[in-house]
Amino acid sequence: MESGSIGDSMEIVKKLVEIPQEEVAEISKAVAIAKELEIKARDFYQKNADKSDEQDVKNAFMFLVKEEQEHFDALTAVEDTLKKEGKFAVVSDEVLKHLEKPQVYPDNTDPKKDIDKKNELTVLLWAMRMERKAELFYREQAGKTSVPEVKEFFNTLAEFEVGHFQYLDGIFSSWTSTDDFILG
């Protein structure tokens, strides 16, 4: 996957902000870890999209491949600016919000669908767990800084991970429809 793909069509960095010197190392470390998380997630989705026979799952994972790559590109811009200028690069909202989720929910019309034969179910549950862990990581990083722009950046990434989880949960829910099961 090419780096810088979002930079080709829009400006990644909206502005630069000063950060306390004592926070530079911690923010840099968080960004480096975040980049690793995004690449692991991207590669995980790509690998499973490639081997999936279920077109809906393939489409969902390819969407997430693109988003994880764009998050990596945004984190790279932040990292580069931290290294070169010692400032935090505020990422443009459009960079993280421009992709449209494909409407990917498997057809639920057959109530006797045999979900036990869907090996993607295990992958889907694993992906949901990965998204939740990434969200918690970003929230933790947001809580460690006193710089509003840094806090907002990590919280924005956390919200995207929440969105990814909800997206995957919608697919999971459609596969495991419990219309006849009433929760008390």
**Environment class of residue 3 by beta-carbon count within 10 Å: exposed (0-12), middle (13-18) or buried (19+)?**
exposed
Q: Which residue blocks in 86-147 are alpha helix, DSSP H?
A: 93-97, 120-143
Binned at pLDDT 50, 70 and 90, residue 75 comes out as: very high
With a threshold of 0.85, does the pTM exceed it?
no
**Distance, CA of 42 to CA of 50 (rounded, Å):** 12
Q: Quick one: tokens of 1?
A: 């996957």
pLDDT of residue 98: 73
Decide yes or no: CATH 1.20.1260.10 for domain 5-105+112-175: yes
- pLDDT for residue 178: 56
Outline where DSSP puts E strands in 20-114.
Answer: 87-91
Structure tokens at 70: 């764009």
